[in-house]
A and B are shown apart, each in its own frame.
Chain A
Amino acid sequence: MSAATATHDHHGEHAHDHSHDHHEIGFWRKYIFSTDHKTIGIQYGLSGLVFLLFGFFLMMVMRWTIAYPGVPMPGMVALGNLPLVGGFFTEWVDQWAPGGIVSPALYNMFGAMHGTIMVFFGIVPLGFAAFGNFVMPLQIGTIDMAFPRLNMLSYWFFFISGVIMFGSFLLPTGAVQTGWTMYSPLAETDQMGVKNVWMHGHTWWLLAMVFNISASLLGSVNFITTAINLRAKGLTWFRLPFFTWAMMVISFLLLLAFPPLEVAALLQLGDRVFGSSFYLPTGLMEGGAKLDIAGGGNPLLYQHLFWFLAHPEVYVLILPAFAIVSDVIPCNARRPLWGYKAMVYALLTLAFLSFIVWAHHMYLTGMGTMMSTFFQITTVLISIPSVILLTCLMITLWGGSIRFNAQMLFATAFLPMFGIGGLTGLPLAFNFIDLFLHDTYYVIGHFHYVVAPGTIFALFAGVYHWYPKITGRYMSDLLGKIHFWPSLIFMNMIFGPMLYQGMIGFHRRWYDGGKYFEQITSGHLWTNELISFGAWGLALSQVPFILNVFLSIKGGKKCTSDNPWGATTIEWAAPNLPPHGNFITEPVAYRGPYEYSVPGMERDYLPQFELEATTPVPAVPSSQAHF
């Protein structure tokens, strides 16, 4: 820390005595059971990255059997040769992939868990919890979250939930196999033939989700309270960086949308464990036999409760990306965020609309044309605020002097990638087109364009951008570029052909990639191989990133300034490796968050937290002058 505060001349003399205050905190309290928002953010970040990688690994196994159905997967049997755990893997492989051939059950299991892990354990913890926790309190100039102990509890709930979710792979029944949406009644009649109802994958999934939801709720209460009550002096609502706005809105989405999922999970748990029939209709048969249930329930209830969460959840997945990108782009384009206020209003509109579009996932359930029409209209409407956000970011680039460093490459790539994701979603909004595209690879392609080259690229941008604040060192820009270009190519190689496959009619849940449905797929099966090679290529192109993250902790170039990118928001006022308590002197916000290239100024940025401007502050803040 002390080395990093070289340019902190008016703070420098306090730096040393401050760092002496906290020497008494032991290892466990400092790194494991920490209440410091930065440590918790890093904990969330590392866990999220691990889960992201794990979810990706599941997908690569699936891609093997899609491309080469019935062919033993290389390395699968060899798992048994691993030291220590080998014996266990021998059994596991025997059960799920005999002879190394991925069984349909394993494919279903990995498919369901890929979705669950990526959404609830990868992207939300990384985008919302990790970046939100680390950056947001710094950005609003406060010393910590409003409820630090709840914050710690939130992480540990998340951790427990991750352990349960991961543990479910090792159960005799395996993890859950009914798709990440867990539609009833299939999800309820599956895996029922076990002695102890508490010991199967689905019950563990539900329990893990209860913990995960609790973690999200604690986190979001904390985030909103912090943003409302702990803002630095002078940091009025419209001086808040867009990042903080987005984090607050995401918190509201999580806060209000997650409880219905908790209800859905509770009722499903009731159906499985206590024999109720919330989602089970009268006269349901299973394997030719009538089930011993009262009936009278309705599977649609589950879908309503589930999608009431899961659609806002989509915005929980994408908004952290907008949050990060709208800090990275102005900073590296050296231009104020164009239409900052419009973006904030668009964000609020988006959040509101996201609560009334859920049933566009249910056009095919026969819920009625009236309902479909209503949800079709709201779904088309929600594209307007999304387009506003995207357009503002693109116009921000216009006329900027752009620094194409690694984070800017990822941030700019985010724009067209999200654009493709968004535009391919429009046809799905119309129920008559959705009729044909529903449950095909087109939907997979659309959704993944939004979250994979969309959100995940933005998350990468965020890692490169804030890494100096976390470690005091830069990540290697060269490795960053070696990470970026192949990633961009392979991402498109994976998800582009999926759109094409979907329009042909490839169904999303074929474990053999459609070999069996020759009349549909013949002549197009090569696309499966293409996509699979894309996936493995993408895996390889993450190697430079992983190396970069770990090697740069000690080996990266040292930052000579606390504000290495010349950014304007308050987190850059804190010393690199901010101490417990974050700031050396209490920061004050004097102006809007995006004062780049202020006319007449010698320096091309004017931070929010600096009182003395070298030239007079213009009467109209430049962030609004363009709007």
Chain B
Amino acid sequence: MDIPYTTTNRPDTGLYNAKIGIWLFLASEVMLFGGLFSSYIFLRIGADFHWPVHELQVLPGFINTLVLILSSVTVVMAWANLKMRKIAQYKLCMWITILCAGVFMCLKAYEYYGKFNHIGVKLTDGTILTGHFPEGGYRVKLEEGTKVTINLKTGDPSYFLKWVTTENPKFKNAAGEDVLLDQQGSVMSLLDVFLPGDWDKSSFGQLKRTMAEAKKTSVELTAVTPLTIVAKESKTFGHTGKTITFRDGTIVEGRAVEDKMTLQVDKVDVRAALDEEKSLAWHYLGDEWKKAFEEHGTEEAEKHKSFDKNDERFLRHVKQMEIHAPTVAEHNAKHGGAKHSAETHAPAEGAHGAEGHGSHYPEVVLERKDIGFWSSFTPKWNNYYAIYFTLTGLHGLHVVAGALVLAYFLLFDGKRLKEDPEHLANRIEVGGLFWHFVDLVWIFLFPLLYLL
């Protein structure tokens, strides 16, 4: 008892099952990516910020386009060769297709990696600085007497300690007794201090009940030593001036003696600044960079004078400047002979500690009060990157899935290749249709995200 029309076509419809199936599946995929593309349009039209344009490196994207187109050709050749029973050529073409998928994903990973380490900071006046953290990045130093509230329902003391860089931090409880917290501290050991007496410590459920009976849901500690916290942004719900709330519900509350971010700036964008003349950027970068920026603006304005002064394309060139310095390695390699781009001739001495790490990026130390919002170039930074990651991430998943299916046909379908090559050819055809769809999505994605 076999399902009919797996290999042969049904006479009246002229199709075999899998072919109908894959076209239906692709229809649904069209709706999936269609929904995402529509969302892109909706978000871009409705954006109340300057939608990033031409911010991505075109070259890796372009290479990826070529790689995918090549793989679409080879997958068809694989199918045709299989139909002609040229098995060696079939296998070669399949290998090339899968290899192309690998190359695509590697380039994608390279592009992603760059974004995870790139930081954007929106200052309170709307000016945007982007750049990299030298080391440490964002640090908060809280003076002694800082109150730490650990939520016993959800949190544990070792969680926030992970982000405390102070050596041997010391804490006291409400009764004034010393409490020893170390990285191994747990709710259980902590509770020993707060709930002395006999109770069943064997189960977590019992513990929670004991807590509930004692009406204890949180533990308050006071730091005896100052605390320096270098927290990853994803582990907190943000710093609100006085308090840092960690994801586990631990709240650290105290007066900051130091609340600063060190940033090696690689771009200044004053498009959204309240007053570009008095932008906070110049407060940090110094007048030399301001002058360089103004020169850059005049030059660019000359180049783009055909545009209206309020045109987004005009603003994009005139009101932002890349500080395109070579990296340390490049700098050493070229050693002075390098032809710096127009913007970088500006002396970097204006910024504090610019040459400190041998980098040509001006390094600034931003005060907490001046930082409106900051993030790495992840979905959090703005909706362009959010939809970029969603679209390319989902597309990348499709590439991986497609490559896995093709690899399965190539590597584990040998029995079918011997006994029923026609059926395998149908499978390759169906896989190839999917592969073409994945390619087609990229053909839309590339201009949409890199060029438009």
- Which of A94, A195, A196, A230 gathers the greatest number of chain B CB atoms within 10 Å? A195
Chain A, residues 141-172, CB within 8 Å of chain B (1/0): the string is 01111111000000000000000000000001
Q: How distant is A212 from chain B, measured CB to nearest CB, in Å?
A: 14
A566 CA to B235 CA, complexed, in Å: 67
A277 contacts partner chain B, Cβ-Cβ < 8 Å? yes
Q: Provided the pairs A276-B386, A296-B48 are in contact, do residues A195 and B155 lie with their beta carbons within 8 angstroms? A: yes
Q: In the bound complex, do residue B237 and residue A275 qualify as a contact, i.e. CB atoms below 8 Å apart? A: no
Within 8 A of A (CB), among B223-270: 234, 237-238, 240, 245-249
B195 contacts partner chain A, Cβ-Cβ < 8 Å? no
A193 CA to B155 CA, complexed, in Å: 11
Q: In the bound complex, do residue B46 and residue A298 qualify as a contact, i.e. CB atoms below 8 Å apart? A: yes
Q: In the bound complex, do residue B48 and residue A195 qualify as a contact, i.e. CB atoms below 8 Å apart? A: no
B residues less than 8 Å from A192 (CB atoms): 237
Q: In the bound complex, do residue B27 and residue A581 qualify as a contact, i.e. CB atoms below 8 Å apart? A: no
B356 contacts partner chain A, Cβ-Cβ < 8 Å? no
B residues less than 8 Å from A221 (CB atoms): 21, 24-25, 28
Tell me which of A259-267, A324-332, A402-410, A589-597 binds B.
A259-267
A66 contacts partner chain B, Cβ-Cβ < 8 Å? no
Taking a contact as CB atoms closer than 8 A, the residue among B18, B42, B209, B234 that contacts A275 in the complex is B234
Question: Which size class do A's interface residues fall under?
Answer: 35 or more
A528 CA to B373 CA, complexed, in Å: 49
A255 contacts partner chain B, Cβ-Cβ < 8 Å? yes
B188 contacts partner chain A, Cβ-Cβ < 8 Å? no
Q: In the bound complex, do residue B386 and residue A147 qualify as a contact, i.e. CB atoms below 8 Å apart? A: no
A27 contacts partner chain B, Cβ-Cβ < 8 Å? no
A residues less than 8 Å from B153 (CB atoms): 172
Q: In the bound complex, do residue A581 and residue B1 qualify as a contact, i.e. CB atoms below 8 Å apart? A: yes
Within 8 A of A (CB), among B23-41: 24-25, 27-29, 31-32, 34-36, 39
B373: nearest chain-A partner, CB-CB: A294
Q: In the bound complex, do residue A260 and residue B209 qualify as a contact, i.e. CB atoms below 8 Å apart? A: no
Q: In the bound complex, do residue B380 and residue A301 qualify as a contact, i.e. CB atoms below 8 Å apart? A: no
A residues less than 8 Å from B4 (CB atoms): 142, 230
Q: In the bound complex, do residue A278 and residue B383 qualify as a contact, i.e. CB atoms below 8 Å apart? A: yes
B10 contacts partner chain A, Cβ-Cβ < 8 Å? yes
A290: nearest chain-B partner, CB-CB: B240
Q: In the bound complex, do residue A224 and residue B24 qualify as a contact, i.e. CB atoms below 8 Å apart? A: yes
Taking a contact as CB atoms closer than 8 A, the residue among B3, B47, B212, B385 that contacts A144 in the complex is B3
B105 contacts partner chain A, Cβ-Cβ < 8 Å? no
Q: Provided the pairs A195-B247, A256-B27 are in contact, do residues A230 and B3 lie with their beta carbons within 8 angstroms? A: yes
A residues less than 8 Å from B248 (CB atoms): 194-195
Taking a contact as CB atoms closer than 8 A, the residue among A220, A224, A263 that contacts B35 in the complex is A263
A580: nearest chain-B partner, CB-CB: B1
A263 CA to B28 CA, complexed, in Å: 12
Q: In the bound complex, do residue A220 and residue B24 qualify as a contact, i.e. CB atoms below 8 Å apart? A: yes
Q: How distant is B220 from chain A, measured CB to nearest CB, in Å?
A: 18
Q: How distant is B19 from chain A, measured CB to nearest CB, in Å?
A: 9
A220 CA to B16 CA, complexed, in Å: 17
- Which of A255, A257, A267 gathers the greatest number of chain B CB atoms within 10 Å? A267
Q: In the bound complex, do residue B237 and residue A294 qualify as a contact, i.e. CB atoms below 8 Å apart? A: no
Q: How distant is A465 from chain B, measured CB to nearest CB, in Å?
A: 27
A262 CA to B389 CA, complexed, in Å: 16
B residues less than 8 Å from A148 (CB atoms): 3
Q: In the bound complex, do residue A301 and residue B13 qualify as a contact, i.e. CB atoms below 8 Å apart? A: no
A177 CA to B16 CA, complexed, in Å: 46
Q: In the bound complex, do residue B378 and residue A260 qualify as a contact, i.e. CB atoms below 8 Å apart? A: no
Q: Provided the pairs A147-B21, A195-B249, A282-B48 are in contact, do residues A275 and B378 lie with their beta carbons within 8 angstroms? A: yes
A604 contacts partner chain B, Cβ-Cβ < 8 Å? no
Q: In the bound complex, do residue B237 and residue A259 qualify as a contact, i.e. CB atoms below 8 Å apart? A: no
B5: nearest chain-A partner, CB-CB: A229
A residues less than 8 Å from B10 (CB atoms): 229
Q: In the bound complex, do residue B31 and residue A196 qualify as a contact, i.e. CB atoms below 8 Å apart? A: no
Q: In the bound complex, do residue B212 and residue A143 qualify as a contact, i.e. CB atoms below 8 Å apart? A: no
A residues less than 8 Å from B27 (CB atoms): 255-256
Q: How distant is A284 from chain B, measured CB to nearest CB, in Å?
A: 12
B274 contacts partner chain A, Cβ-Cβ < 8 Å? no
A228 contacts partner chain B, Cβ-Cβ < 8 Å? yes
Q: How distant is B409 from chain A, measured CB to nearest CB, in Å?
A: 16
A residues less than 8 Å from B155 (CB atoms): 195
A282 CA to B247 CA, complexed, in Å: 23
A187 CA to B48 CA, complexed, in Å: 22
A277 CA to B390 CA, complexed, in Å: 12
Q: In the bound complex, do residue A294 and residue B375 qualify as a contact, i.e. CB atoms below 8 Å apart? A: yes
Q: Provided the pairs A172-B153, A195-B159, A229-B20 are in contact, do residues A275 and B375 lie with their beta carbons within 8 angstroms? A: yes
B residues less than 8 Å from A262 (CB atoms): 32, 35
Taking a contact as CB atoms closer than 8 A, the residue among A225, A255, A267, A294 that contacts B390 in the complex is A267
B326 contacts partner chain A, Cβ-Cβ < 8 Å? no
Q: How distant is A99 from chain B, measured CB to nearest CB, in Å?
A: 14
A222 contacts partner chain B, Cβ-Cβ < 8 Å? yes
A122 CA to B47 CA, complexed, in Å: 39
A581 CA to B237 CA, complexed, in Å: 58
Q: In the bound complex, do residue B13 and residue A260 qualify as a contact, i.e. CB atoms below 8 Å apart? A: no
B residues less than 8 Å from A274 (CB atoms): 378-380, 386, 389
Q: How distant is A327 from chain B, measured CB to nearest CB, in Å?
A: 25
Q: In the bound complex, do residue A301 and residue B24 qualify as a contact, i.e. CB atoms below 8 Å apart? A: no
Within 8 A of B (CB), among A437-461: none
Q: In the bound complex, do residue A229 and residue B17 qualify as a contact, i.e. CB atoms below 8 Å apart? A: yes
A residues less than 8 Å from B378 (CB atoms): 274-275
A87 contacts partner chain B, Cβ-Cβ < 8 Å? yes
A293 CA to B122 CA, complexed, in Å: 11
B15 contacts partner chain A, Cβ-Cβ < 8 Å? yes
Chain A, residues 577-607, CB within 8 Å of chain B (1/0): the string is 0001100000000000000000000000000
A residues less than 8 Å from B389 (CB atoms): 270, 274, 276
Q: Provided the pairs A267-B39, A278-B387 are in contact, do residues A225 and B32 lie with their beta carbons within 8 angstroms? A: no
Taking a contact as CB atoms closer than 8 A, the residue among B21, B35, B247, B380 that contacts A197 in the complex is B247
Q: How distant is B263 from chain A, measured CB to nearest CB, in Å?
A: 18
Q: How distant is B234 from chain A, measured CB to nearest CB, in Å?
A: 7
B73 contacts partner chain A, Cβ-Cβ < 8 Å? no
A21 CA to B1 CA, complexed, in Å: 10
Within 8 A of B (CB), among A264-307: 264, 266-267, 270, 274-278, 282, 289, 292-298, 301, 304-305
Q: In the bound complex, do residue A298 and residue B43 qualify as a contact, i.e. CB atoms below 8 Å apart? A: yes
Q: How distant is B206 from chain A, measured CB to nearest CB, in Å?
A: 9
Q: In the bound complex, do residue A217 and residue B25 qualify as a contact, i.e. CB atoms below 8 Å apart? A: yes
A264: nearest chain-B partner, CB-CB: B35
Q: How distant is B444 from chain A, measured CB to nearest CB, in Å?
A: 15
A258 contacts partner chain B, Cβ-Cβ < 8 Å? yes
B32: nearest chain-A partner, CB-CB: A259
A298 CA to B387 CA, complexed, in Å: 13
Within 8 A of B (CB), among A450-481: none
B154 contacts partner chain A, Cβ-Cβ < 8 Å? yes
A residues less than 8 Å from B208 (CB atoms): 91
Can you list 5 pairs linking A and B with CB atoms under 8 Å apart?
A: A172-B154, A195-B155, A264-B35, A270-B379, A296-B49
- The 3 residue pairs across chains A and B that have the minimum distance between CB atoms: A195-B248, A276-B386, A292-B238
Contacts beyond the supplied A224-B20, A297-B43: 10 A-B pairs with Cβ under 8 Å: A192-B237, A193-B237, A195-B247, A230-B4, A259-B35, A274-B389, A276-B390, A292-B237, A297-B383, A298-B42
B interface, CB within 8 angstroms of A: 1, 3-5, 10, 13, 15-18, 20-21, 24-25, 27-29, 31-32, 34-36, 39, 42-43, 46-49, 153-155, 159, 205, 208-209, 212, 234, 237-238, 240, 245-249, 373, 375, 378-383, 385-387, 389-390, 394
